[in-house]
Amino acid sequence: MKHLFLVLLTGLLMAIAWPTYGCSLFIFIAWIPLLLVEAQLRNTQKPCKGKVFLLSCLSFLVWNTLTTWWIWNSTIVGALFAILVNSLLMSIVFFAYHLVAKRNTTKISSIFFIVIWIAFEKFHHHWDFSWPWLSLGNVFSENIRWIQWYEYTGIFGGSLWVLVVNILLFHSLRIFLATKDKRLFYKRIGGISLLVIIPIGFSLGLYSFYKEEGKPIEVVALQPNIDPYREKYSLSNEETIRLLLKLAEESVTDNTHFVLTPETVISEGVYQLEEISHSQEVTSLHALLEKYPQLNWLVGISIYQVVRDKSKIGAQSNYNPLQNYWFNDYNSAFLLNSFGIMGYHHKSKLVVGVEHMPLQGILRPILGDIMIDLGGTIAVKTTQEIPSVLSSLSDEKVAPVICYESIYGEYVTQYVREGAQFLGILTNDAWWGDTQGHKQLLSYTRLRAIETRKSIARSANTGISAFINQRGEVISSLDYGKAGALRGTILANDKKTFYVRYGDYIARLSAFIGIGILLTSLLKKRSEV
């Protein structure tokens, strides 16, 4: 019963720490109860492998459920899959730590715990079941004054910080429980406290002295507030464009350079890529460009492209059996100005089970097509290798980041390396309702501003549309569930931070160390710890 209480406590502490409602400080002690249970079971003479795995799974199940239950609003299957599979994966990683700890010294096993978890988080950014929502470094997204140094480390610097503090506090508590030496315990706690205080102090210094850089650009972000379950696919494209034009005309001025729409705001019927520039929708959008010739539209759209050359059929191509052709299905953004459509970006970080079926060759025959319709078609989305950067009439370069892409730090740095001067985020968070889902996604976006030192303009269908400065502060926003347009001035710059240049080096180094320890551990017998 004691072990059960402790593992549940870890799950609860993780959830209590999580944005946007939580207190981040709890994350620095959240791992301790679970680590205590593992250590107690490991040092008994009874077989405990199964118990360690199941108890850790329970702990992670609590954390995942309390923080990401809102996925249920868009897809029940997706919610169950995300929560259960992520909990299982976390348990496997923790179990690997348990096995390594049986064969190594306390110091080596502690290092392994830290690096293997970071390596797992990195892996979770790239594989077929990618779901990095609960990466530990995300926990500080509401405490941006604490983590201004993310411009050097990215979120994995935050994960490292959390894990180091937890493992040191855990060992201090174990020593105290064994020796009852309060003086030594308080001394160790004081030293570990500095590991929390010093990074925060350094960050506060960066925050205070950071001066925003760049050319001022006036941007309008539209928030049409279209209910995706009742209106989105019952509205014609013509009605949607009419609404967008009405909202834009109320806010656009002679100084406005960009108007942003939400993700897949044009979705009825779904056009072929080659047809868009001649479509009625684009013609209608040109009406505003005639009045404001300096203007650039950044528009979210669902489109497809027929693959006529069989040699170009890829793993993400879809087959239409009724008309016997292959096609690529895109969740895209295009930039339109008085010269026409200046380029496209196709969303390349896809939501598992919604836009992307992992391990298709294995799962599709078993599960069939269980993906929810979130874009006018039910099909695997096609991605591109390198994200596109789109240029305005005045040569201002925007990164068109589409929804889920905004939680991938190193991926977003690719836009900046390609020349992006600010981030334009197009999203539709309405599938989750008024829950923590859309709030967390906005909150995580603030981390991208710090990592890249780029201003952000965010257009969200039902909210929350916002402008975020280069320090990660939300400087203005539109409330959830409110139709309107948000006008603001952001700064476009060519700065490339340390993190932009070197990416997730902490995670790559962690993976290298973790694999090394794991391989050597397989050759060892159990050590007395």
Q: Are 295 and 402 part of one and the same domain?
A: yes
In this prediction, residue 234 carries a pLDDT of 67
Domain that holds residue 126: 2-210+505-522
Torsions phi, psi of 428, nearest 5? -135, 95
Q: Are 141 and 28 part of one and the same domain?
A: yes
In this prediction, residue 375 carries a pLDDT of 34
Q: Are 255 and 197 part of one and the same domain?
A: no
Q: Are 227 and 197 part of one and the same domain?
A: no
For residue 372, what is the domain's CATH number?
A: 3.60.110.10
Tell whether 499 is covered by a domain. no
Please tell me which residue, 77 or 458, carries the higher pLDDT value.
458
CA distance 75 to 60: 21
Tell whether 437 is covered by a domain. yes
- When pLDDT is averaged across residues 359-369 and rounded to a whole number, the result is 54
In this prediction, residue 171 carries a pLDDT of 97
Tell whether 252 is covered by a domain. yes
Tell whether 194 is covered by a domain. yes
Kindly tell me if the per-residue pLDDT of 367 is higher than 60. no
Tell whether 528 is covered by a domain. no
Question: Which among 374, 372, 301 is positioned nearest to 341, based on CA atoms?
Answer: 301
Q: Which of 126-140, 294-308, 418-432, 515-529 has the lowest mean pLDDT?
A: 515-529
Count of structural domains within the chain: 2
Q: Sign of the C-alpha dihedral, residues 139, 141, 147, 150?
A: positive
Q: Are 236 and 199 part of one and the same domain?
A: no
Q: Are 96 and 125 part of one and the same domain?
A: yes
Q: Are 102 and 192 part of one and the same domain?
A: yes
Share of the chain above pLDDT 90, in %: 78
Q: Are 363 and 277 part of one and the same domain?
A: yes
pLDDT tens-digit series, residues 457-470: 999 999 899 999 99
Q: Are 119 and 226 part of one and the same domain?
A: no
How big is the chain by its Cα radius of gyration, in Å? Answer: 25
- When pLDDT is averaged across residues 261-266 and rounded to a whole number, the result is 94
CA distance 4 to 286: 63
Q: Are 196 and 246 part of one and the same domain?
A: no
- 259 neighbors 241 (Cβ within 8 angstroms): no
What is the DSSP pairing of strand 484-492 with strand 474-477?
unpaired
Kindly tell me if the per-residue pLDDT of 504 is higher than 90. yes
Distance, CA of 481 to chain centre: 22
Q: Please return the burial class of 226, using the count of CB atoms within 10 Å of its CB with bins 0-12, 13-18 and 19+.
A: buried
- 368 neighbors 357 (Cβ within 8 angstroms): no
- 411 neighbors 420 (Cβ within 8 angstroms): no
In this prediction, residue 228 carries a pLDDT of 78
Q: Where are the beta strands (DSSP E) in 266-349?
A: 266-272, 296-307, 318-320, 325-337, 340-346
* 3-class secondary-structure state, position 492: strand
pLDDT tens-digit series, residues 21-60: 999 999 999 999 999 999 999 988 677 888 999 999 999 9
pTM: 0.93
Tell whether 308 is covered by a domain. yes
- When pLDDT is averaged across residues 397-422 and rounded to a whole number, the result is 98
Tell whether 48 is covered by a domain. yes
DSSP state of 360: H
* 3-class secondary-structure state, position 424: strand
pLDDT tens-digit series, residues 277-322: 889 999 999 999 999 999 999 999 999 999 888 888 888 888 888 8
In this prediction, residue 374 carries a pLDDT of 37
- Extract the tokens encoding 60: 């992670």
Tokens 């293997």 correspond to 116
Tell whether 174 is covered by a domain. yes
Q: Are 204 and 142 part of one and the same domain?
A: yes
Share of the chain above pLDDT 70, in %: 93
DSSP state of 504: S
Q: Are 205 and 219 part of one and the same domain?
A: no
- Extract the tokens encoding 66: 């309390």
- Extract the tokens encoding 448: 């991208």
